[in-house]
Every structure is written in structure tokens, then in C-alpha cells.
Amino acid sequence: MGAGFADRLAGAVERSGTPACVGLDPVLEKLPEGLRGGEPAAALEEFCLGVIRACRGMVGVMKPQSACFERYGSAGMRVLERVCHAAREAEMVVILDAKRGDIGFSAEHYASAAAGIGADAITLHGYMGMETVEPYLRAGLGVFVLVRTSNPGSDGVQGRRMEDGRSVAEMMADEVAGLGEQWMGAGGRSDVGAVVGATKSAEGRALRARMPRAWLLVPGYGAQGGTVDDVRALLDERRGGVVVNASRSVIYACGGKEWEGGVRAAAGKFAEELRGLAAPRPT
């Protein structure tokens, strides 16, 4: 029996009509000019709250990048808390991109921290084994375990072959699917999801086959080169089960005074591009 995340995510995608997820990766130097003066953490907060307002009603999922907030120490963490709560209030699902991974005892603390700031789910490393993933699920969070990432250097680890012919990423996918069976939601998808980059669609199809009931969180769309066709390769049998993240192409769409309107237009375009995803590929 699941913790409810998989079903909550399905609801958010259904309500918005799109699997679009906007990544909150605020970097001071890239903020609209009018926000750049003053205290960094305050600028981050104003920006992120503006992005949430701009996306409200169009996009159902937000993915704050923990690193961008942690960079500003305890002040940054306070902002992260407020941003997560604002997204929840806007009826968005919040996936905290924190890429944690530690033994049970520490995992419980990380889970408690993530739940405390208002996250619905968290991204995780699985290198220490699936027992280190379970504490987050027991705390009521959904998880996305890193399986295949889209950065070039990942090939040196994730792309290597095991003695049974699987890649390291495929081995991790099987671990994810195994744990996921124990955490199924009512809607037939699991609270144990995976991160699979959009720029690896050839491999992505094989990974999806190994994780038929997992939600896939797909970074690498847009600015990083992933296309709608790359994402299509990752759909499950019901032509769903993906959440597609874009960050820079949406949140930095406009640097001027009317930046919130610019973000709104970019978010609408992004949401629309993915709306047709479930339709058969034109031949």
C-alpha cells in the first residue's frame, strides 16, 4: 500500500492537463534586473514566489533545486521552506530536488527535513541500496531514484556493463522496480519513481520496459536538448507516467520589468507542447 504520492501526482497532472514540471533553480546573476539588488535570499524568494504565481493553474508540479537555496545557508533554507509552502498553497505537487542518499538513520532525518519544508517527494541516490530509500517512503514522501542522468560524464558510471549484460543504469532500474512493487498507489503507479534524462531516449525505452509502473521524472528537456519525441519513448503503456522538467527555458524567459508575464507565456508554451504527448506519434 503506497503513501499516496503516486496518486497525488496523477491528480496534479490530470488537473493541469500536462505533465509539465517547472524547475526552480534560481541563480542570482540570472534574475530579472529589478530583483538583483539587496539581500540574495530575499531576491530568490521574491523571484520564486513570482514564478509560482505565473505558473499557477497551468503547471501542476514544481521542482525546487535544493542546492540553489542551500548556497545561502540558513537564510536560503528559510526561503526554500516558504517557496515550498507557497507552491503547495497553489495546489502544486512539490518535488524537492535534493539528491540525498544515506543510511537509514540519516535518511530518516533527511526525510523529516523534506517533509517539514513541505515537499511531496524527493530525488535520491540509490548507490547505498534500496534500504536507504525506504525511510523516505515510510515518512510519507514519494521518491525519484537517479537511474540515468543526461550529463555527459554519467556514461563513465551509469553506461557501463554488468556481467549479466545489463548496464549499471538498468541494474538500478531493476532495483527501483523491485522496491516499487511494495509501494503501489491505487491508480496502478508506484510511489517509487526514477530520474531518467530526456536526452537518452534510446536507452530510455529499455529503462521504461524495466520499470513499467514507475513515475519517471525527466530532466533535460528544452534548454538541455531533449525533445517531445525523446519524452514519448518514456511513456508507459497507458501513455502517461512521466513528469517532464524544464527550468531555464521557463523561469528566465524574460529579464525585463514584465518578467512575470514572460514566465507565464513560457510556462504556457511548455505546458502546451507536452499536452499532445499522449497522442500517437505522427507517422
Which stretch, 145-153, 228-236, 249-257, 270-278, contacts a copy of itself (CB under 8 A)?
Answer: 145-153
For a copy of itself, which is the closer residue by CB, 13 or 51?
51
- Rounded Cα distance between 35 and 99, Å, is 28
Beta-bridge partners for 24: 64
Binding-site string for a copy of itself from residue 160 to residue 189, where x marks contact by CB under 8 A and - marks none: xxxx-x--x--xx--x--------------
Compute the distance between CA of residue 208 and CA of residue 232 in angstroms, rounded to an integer.
11
Contacting residue, 18, 158, 190, 199, with a copy of itself by CB under 8 A: 158
Is 99 a known active-site residue?
A: yes
Among 3, 6, 35, 68, indicate the residue that binds a copy of itself (CB under 8 A): 68
Written as one letter, the residue type at 243 is: V
Rounded Cα distance between 191 and 181, Å, is 9
Residues sharing a CB contact under 8 Å with residue 152, sequence separation 6 or more, in sequence order? none
What minimum distance in Å lies between the beta carbon of 162 and a copy of itself?
Answer: 6
Which region, judged by CB under 8 A, interacts with a copy of itself, from 43-51, 148-156, 257-265, 271-279? 148-156
- Site membership for a copy of itself, residue 156 (CB under 8 A): yes
99, 127 contact by CB (below 8 A): no
Query: Residue 192 CB, nearest distance to a copy of itself (Å)?
Result: 14
170, 207 Cβ separation under 8 angstroms? yes
- Residues catalogued as catalytic: 99
